[in-house]
Amino acid sequence: MLNITKNLDAGALNVALEGRLDTTTAPELEESLKESFEGVQDLTIDLEKLEYISSAGLRVLLFAQKTMNKQGTMKVVKASDTIMEIFEVTGFSDILTIE
């Protein structure tokens, strides 16, 4: 189960995730992001309430990062220790901008 809350303010898009970003829910996030990329220069993904991220979820984050590299910036904020561990183990902590 994944809840996605989007907040667009001028060219800055804030996406807050709640629940699990796994193989079942990752397509939902991907679709949601694809709908919203246009005109966005700053993308912030708030992971405060995200409990788990799987390989499929990492793919979506990577896709988002590659898209935003062409049109602006992206950062990931408030990742929990569990999520940070996944980022570090996979090397995503070097790929993503994490605050």
To other proteins, the closest distance from the beta carbon of 23 in angstroms equals 4
Q: Is residue 85 close enough to count as binding other proteins by CB under 8 A? A: yes
CA 24 to chain centre: 16
Per-residue x/- track, 2-41, other proteins (CB under 8 A) = --------------------xxxxxx--------------
Residue 67: strand, helix, or coil: helix
Residue 74: strand, helix, or coil: strand
Q: Which of 17, 24, 21 is nearest to 45 (CA)?
A: 17
Report the interface residues with other proteins, using CB under 8 A. Answer: 22-27, 54-56, 58-59, 62, 85-86, 89-91, 93-95
